[in-house]
């Protein structure tokens, strides 16, 4: 995990109010991030694989998506962080639908142990661990394959 995640999830462990205060202090710049700034804005949360794909049109799209996700508030981001540190309200062993888990070995946003833990606890899940990719580069490079895999479940 990147160093920023340690601080962020430390705040999440203290509760929603502490995490909200952390967001106000640390995440405000992301509300107005531009394509030219987005790579640097992710700081220690991205490695070389992710940095390599965050350029040009993709950087502009990522920045626009980031701005849009925070246009009203940080609530979605806060909910996501709290989900990492609170019970989910169900047992993973109860999942009976197909689950595909993708992760790159250069992912600084999600610990490798988390994807392995999910794969071990969700019956029949499939973990695809991809060397040479990070959290962002994996989706950019394998987007079609990931979407094809998801669409095949609808047939």
pLDDT tens, position by position, 91-133:
999 999 999 999 999 999 988 999 999 999 999 999 999 999 9
What's the domain count of the chain?
Answer: 2
Using DSSP, state whether 6 is helix, strand or coil.
helix
pTM, entire model: 0.84
pLDDT the model gives residue 35: 96
Last residue within a domain, chosen from 85, 110, 135: 85
Confidence of residue 26 (pLDDT cuts 50, 70, 90): confident
Beta partners for residue 104, in sequence order: 130
* Residue 24 sits in the same domain as residue 64: yes
Q: What is the DSSP string of 40-108?
A: HHTGGGB-HHHHHH-SHHHHHHHHHHHHHHTSS-SHHHHHHHHHHHS--SS-GGG--S--EEEEETTBS
* Residue 106 sits in the same domain as residue 78: no
Give me the domain span that covers residue 7: 3-85
* Residue 14 sits in the same domain as residue 70: yes
* Residue 46 sits in the same domain as residue 116: no
* Residue 41 sits in the same domain as residue 75: yes
pLDDT the model gives residue 117: 96
Q: Which residues are within 8 A (CB) of 134 and not within 5 positions of it... i.e. 6 or more apart? A: 46, 47, 48, 49, 50, 104, 106, 107, 108, 109
* Residue 58 sits in the same domain as residue 105: no
Q: Would the pLDDT of 36 be above 90?
A: yes
* Residue 48 sits in the same domain as residue 97: no
**Cβ atoms within 10 Å, residue 72:** 8
Query: How far, in Å, CA of 37 to CA of 60, rounded?
Result: 9
Last residue within a domain, chosen from 42, 61, 85: 85
Q: Would the pLDDT of 3 be above 80?
A: no
Confidence of residue 4 (pLDDT cuts 50, 70, 90): confident
Query: How far, in Å, CA of 8 to CA of 22, rounded?
Result: 7
Last residue within a domain, chosen from 67, 85, 103: 85
* Residue 105 sits in the same domain as residue 56: no
Query: How far, in Å, CA of 96 to CA of 74, rounded?
Result: 32
* Residue 97 sits in the same domain as residue 127: yes
């Amino acid at each position: 995990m990147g160093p920023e995640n340690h601080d962020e999830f430390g705040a999440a462990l203290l509760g929603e109010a502490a995490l909200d205060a952390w967001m106000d202090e640390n995440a405000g710049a992301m509300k107005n991030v531009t394509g030219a700034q987005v790579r640097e804005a992710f700081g220690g949360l991205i490695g070389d694989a992710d940095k390599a794909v965050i350029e040009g049109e993709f950087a502009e799209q990522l920045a626009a998506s980031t701005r849009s996700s925070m246009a009203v508030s940080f609530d979605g981001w806060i909910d996501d962080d709290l989900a990492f540190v609170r019970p989910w309200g169900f047992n993973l062993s109860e999942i009976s639908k197909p689950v595909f888990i993708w992760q790159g070995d250069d992912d600084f946003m999600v610990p490798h142990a988390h994807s392995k833990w999910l794969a071990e606890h969700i019956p029949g899940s499939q973990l695809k661990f991809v060397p040479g990719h990070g959290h962002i580069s994996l989706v950019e490079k394998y987007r079609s394959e990931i979407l094809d895999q998801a669409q095949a479940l609808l047939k």
